[in-house]
Structure 1
Amino acid sequence: MKYGYYPGCSLERNAAAYHQSAMAVAGLLGIDLVEIDDWNCCGATEYFSINLLPAYALVARNLALAQDQGVSDQLVAPCSACFLNLTKTDRYMAESPKLAADVNEALAAGGLHYTPGSVRVRHLLDIIVNDVGYEVVAARVSKPLTGLRVAAYYGCLVVRPGYGGVFDDPEHPTTMDKLFRVLGAEVVDFPMRAQCCGGHMTQISQEVAYEMIRRLLKNAADYEADVIATVCPMCQLNLDAYQANVNQFFRTDYMIPVLYFTQLMGLAFGVSPVDLGIGKEFVDARPALDKIGVAVPSNGTPRKAGTSKEALPMPRLEEE
């Protein structure tokens, strides 16, 4: 099964473990992910609030590249924000001839043109559960996750609004729950599975952001989850990197590791935790993984929170 692959910016940096584990799992399942050449950022979630036409053109350029390179008529986007932007742009261009004309006029400056509907954008979770299927996944399991209590966290972007078609229930998704049961894990009830993590709210209002993150952590803790599994780099970043901030702000003591669903799949397939990028998270996953006999080598110790000299400053609203 061959698909075009759009990793997006996050999977090259803070979510590198997602890319690493996704490629490892895809290879074992016979999924050939061919990265499109010369792709660019999807603009994340903010750019559409700044200038619509450049925002749509920025996203459409990736669709045009996928269309022209002809790897497949299907493009896989593991990042939920990228998935949303790509599917939204394709849908809106199909529904608005004027938008399509304006976007293609912009793309023409780079020798590109995109025909709406020519590329079907899909999330990696959709590919695994619907194209590969649970039976094939089950056949690959060599080290079941028996005894690991997992909270499956979908976030708000992958299951709705469904611009590219709905592959799960938008309010009570279950595809990832079923997947983890196939892997041998114990899936806990997690009522907030499709609630927003706050996105970039940490850069706008920390008080609001921390409360949104706290509710998710509390819900997982209330159901005694050992680990939270997600499909989205933004969700993973917020729940993992800001967990200590939330504890300090609310005087709580949550210590719930947040991993990508592909990392847990890889463990169940017998892949080394190092080869899955495990150990790069802020909240130490080793105590949880000890329950299932997975040892993370010492060279995979959790990273410390801090600001890299290479990092770009995040925008903040000025205090009124």
Structure 2
Amino acid sequence: MNKYLLYPGCSMESSAKAYMESLNSILEPLDLSFEEIDDWNCCGATEYLGINLIPAYSLIARNLALASKQMSGTRTVVAPCSACYLNLAKADYYMQERPSLGVKVNEALEAGGLQYKAGTLDVRHLIDILVYDVGLETIRSKVTHPLRGLKVAPYMGCMLPRPDYQNRWSDHEHPTELDDLLRALGADVIDYPLTTSCCGGHMTQIGPETAFELIRRLVADADERGAHVMATVCPMCQMNIDAYQGEMNHYFGTHYEMPILFFTQLMGLAFGKKPDDLGIGIELVSSRNAMANIGVEVPITQEPGAKRKKDEGLPMPRRWTKHGAGKESSK
């Protein structure tokens, strides 16, 4: 059994709960053992590094220090979240490249009785482990319900393939790892040139109009190319495209209904797992029609009689809407 240390990150316990559920469902078939890092903390997401470098890197490095104490038969830390992966890999890289940074970070860690020697751990993303350690042939051999007939747009997002501190990926602009994995599941993978384009990140909170345009490009291109569903490796990407697709439609006067699922959910389906064990059905943009293409019935997760407004995403300040009635209050 292949053993790894797992850094789950905050989103896997909340907005990306379906990612964790589906990840857990595929571990046993693939003979994988993930041991969660004890007492891990938030990596700071994407903004904190732009505010104060030393506290930000110290926050990240605390997780590396904890993981290094927990090493037993492995030195590999797996981060399923792209933002978490980037932050952990970045901290490890720059603590090696800039010794003065490493000294300051370790001075901060000493306050908690911790130390971290940069380079001790190997930080990797989940899809890297699956494609290059487990292998596509092994994954293909575990498929009992091929996803033949399901047209999938593979969406890697912008944070995973670049900057590539460890030379992990096949290409920085058009990596094929996700495409190859989805094909191993039997899915019909469409040509999707925007695979590494940005989803807007936290611009949904800072500049929603900009975020809506970025989301629109991704969804529109997937739709025009005939995709039934988008598959992603990133909790932030999944949340933006799923939760804010309604707001984007309202802003542009469009009517897209493009579901986006985690690639592990599709793996679980191909391995014969039940949709409700994979978190399928809790997405805001329903995957029911997409799943019908492969004979999968998506469970209804809403209470009987409950009615969700189709054209609204998460509540957020909306300064103005392109197709609305001018300026709107954030109240």
- TM-score tier after normalising by the smaller chain length: over 0.9
What is the match of residue 3 of structure 2? 2
Determine if the alignment matches structure 1 residue 17 to structure 2 residue 9: no
The answer on whether the counterparts of 1:278 and 1:300 sit within 8 Å (CA) in structure 2 is no
* CA distance 1:307–1:253, shift in 2 (3 Å): closer
What is the match of residue 291 of structure 1? 293
Determine if the alignment matches structure 1 residue 148 to structure 2 residue 150: yes
Inter-partner Cα distance in structure 2 for 1:204 and 1:160: 23
Determine if the alignment matches structure 1 residue 244 to structure 2 residue 246: yes
Give, as a single letter, the amino acid of the residue that structure 2 aligns with 1:205: G
Give, as a single letter, the amino acid of the residue that structure 2 aligns with 1:59: I
- Choose which of 249, 261, 264 in structure 2 pairs with 1:262: 264
Query: Could you report, residue by residue, the CA deviation over 1:144-163 in whole angstroms, capped at 9, with x for unpaired residues?
Result: 00100000000001111112
Inter-partner Cα distance in structure 1 for 2:223 and 2:294: 19
- Choose which of 205, 212, 237 in structure 2 pairs with 1:203: 205
State how many pairs are aligned: 312
Inter-partner Cα distance in structure 1 for 2:158 and 2:5: 24
Inter-partner Cα distance in structure 2 for 1:139 and 1:153: 24
| RMSD of equivalent CA atoms | 1.9
Return the offset for 1:294.
Answer: 0.5
Determine if the alignment matches structure 1 residue 62 to structure 2 residue 75: no
Determine if the alignment matches structure 1 residue 97 to structure 2 residue 99: yes
The answer on whether the counterparts of 1:120 and 1:164 sit within 8 Å (CA) in structure 2 is no
Return the offset for 1:25.
Answer: 1.2
What is the match of residue 47 of structure 2? 46
User: 1:167 aligns to what SS in structure 2?
Assistant: coil
The answer on whether the counterparts of 1:80 and 1:232 sit within 8 Å (CA) in structure 2 is yes
Inter-partner Cα distance in structure 2 for 1:101 and 1:124: 30
What is the match of residue 169 of structure 1? 171
Return the offset for 1:165.
Answer: 3.0
* CA distance 1:191–1:95, shift in 2 (3 Å): same
TM-score relative to the length of structure 1: 0.94
The answer on whether the counterparts of 2:247 and 2:313 sit within 8 Å (CA) in structure 1 is no
The answer on whether the counterparts of 1:274 and 1:297 sit within 8 Å (CA) in structure 2 is yes
Return the offset for 1:176.
Answer: 0.9
Give, as a single letter, the amino acid of the residue that structure 1 aligns with 2:19: Y
Inter-partner Cα distance in structure 2 for 1:291 and 1:124: 27
Inter-partner Cα distance in structure 2 for 1:122 and 1:165: 11
Q: Which residues in structure 2 correspond to 1:179-218 (within 5 Å)?
A: 179-218=181-220
What is the match of residue 134 of structure 1? 136
Give, as a single letter, the amino acid of the residue that structure 1 aligns with 2:256: Y
Return the offset for 1:306.
Answer: 7.0
Which stretches in structure 1 are left out of the alignment for 5+ residues? Answer: none
The answer on whether the counterparts of 2:244 and 2:313 sit within 8 Å (CA) in structure 1 is no
Give, as a single letter, the amino acid of the residue that structure 2 aligns with 1:9: C
- Range with greater deviation from structure 2 (238-247 or 160-169): 160-169
Q: Which runs of 4+ in 1 moved over 4 A?
A: 300-308
Inter-partner Cα distance in structure 1 for 2:257 and 2:149: 18
Return the offset for 1:23.
Answer: 1.3
Q: Percent identity?
A: 55
